[in-house]
Amino acid sequence: MSAHRIPRIVLAAPSSNAGKTSIATGLIAALTDRGLTVSPHKVGPDYIDPGYHGLAAGRPGRNLDNWLVGEDRIVPLFLRGALTPTPADVAVVEGVMGLFDGAAHASVEPGYGSTAQVATQLRAPVVLVVDAAAQARSVAALVHGFATFDPSVRLGGVILNRVGSDRHETILREALDAAGVPVLGAVHRVEALHTPSRHLGLVPAAERSAEAVRTVRALGAVVESSVDLDAVLRLARTAPDLYDTPWDPAAEVAPVPGRPVVAVAGGDAFTFGYAETTELLTAAGAEVVPVDPLRDSVLPTGTRALVIGGGFPEVHASALSANVGLRTAIAALVAGGGPVAAECAGLLYLSQNLDGEPMCGVLDTATAMHPRLTLGYRAAVALTDSVLAAAGTRVRGHEFHRTTADPGAGVTPAWQWNAEGPEGFVQGSVHASYLHLNWAGSPMMASRFTAAAAQTPWPSAPATPREVSGAHR
């Protein structure tokens, strides 16, 4: 086990909505514009923020989530991101919620999975992003409290956000100087940099294309002019060496023969996914190829299996429905026994219909938008043998959606968590559920799924009209 010297900081905040993502994205962009290689990371399960980070850095934004992958994998996964594809000059880790806010689950201690816990695991200094819009001298008391609440967390400085004026900035700086906390930057209100949101948060960077690129560049310019980048880098370089082995997907799984083609859904409708999923599939022997259900009318040549992750199919329901060719091809894949793993958005796409629009018709359920947000960590147990897991397998995942499925479980359900009823569908070679998983936490799923793909005959039986009709039951 060798030492790894990776300059790094963790950006945190007293609470959500302080501007962490804007500051983190801008900082990554500004440092990248200096010619530095930046490794971007996000605490927690969120898919959208890492998309902006990755756009700014030119390499994947990776998640660090104790609940999803286990405490022993946090540093190895961080090292994987920081060293792949090339060693980074600095790593920027964006926190989740407030600095000390963790998983709200009865099975863990308060603060589990929090930004503070991950910062401690990474032995990284913390920069607190403070929304100063509605305060002046009181900022010193706020920052003092965060600096002293947990001695294991090293608060190295503050970036003031949404500062109202030069005079306001002076008052804030004087108060924090007296408190002994360095101010690394002061970002004034910039209304033009508003990032559009929808029902699950920011609009993913992948959907905004050129507009997202312009926003990232503008954020980089604002941070470059408002933050002392040299001071940030000096602070990042105070992080000590990390002694651990970088996570290696090849060490987690054994490859199966045959190089089966596994298609992974992407494009504007399916933007949610963890980099480790495709890395594990590749290590397990799969040839991973992308497919865009909005634009591709057929599955990639030789496809033996399909992974459909999360995203916003509800926003693109009409266009997805209009692509009858791909819906027919997916139904044919299922009819021929091809494994399909579908999470959340994938479940919606495989359903009979979504808000009345015909979908793939593979699952005997109808889906629709719902006003209530379903959000939270889940400790689940597999109720049925499937292409992902054997019955009795325990996993940790999360839910994040504003849709419902009726019914919410099939005759052979996928999971059960806590005291709630069964959830999801295991239907032949299909595993579909609202549960999001990071396969790095359960790498055996990649082996099991790829092995099932290798055994899939091709071509599959043709789809029947009912299988692609999307009609109600």
CA 120 to chain centre: 21
Identify the CA nearest to 222 among candidates 183, 192, 182.
Answer: 192
β pairing state of 357-358 and 353-354:
antiparallel
CA 340 to chain centre: 21
Give the bridge partners for 62, in sequence order: 41
DSSP string, 353-416: EETTEE----SS-EEEEEEEEEEEEEEEEE-S--SS--TT-EEEEEEEEEEEEESSB-SS-SEE
Identify the CA nearest to 375 among candidates 359, 397, 399.
Answer: 399
Q: Which of 147, 186, 344, 387 is catalytic?
A: 344
β pairing state of 201-202 and 197-198:
antiparallel
Determine which helix (DSSP H) or strand (DSSP E) holds 144, and give its type and residue range. helix 138-148
Burial class (CB in 10 A: 0-12, 13-18, 19+), 255: middle
* Structure tokens, 425: 């569908």
Question: CB–CB of 12/129 below 8 Å?
Answer: yes
Is 344 a catalytic site residue?
Answer: yes
Active site residues: 344
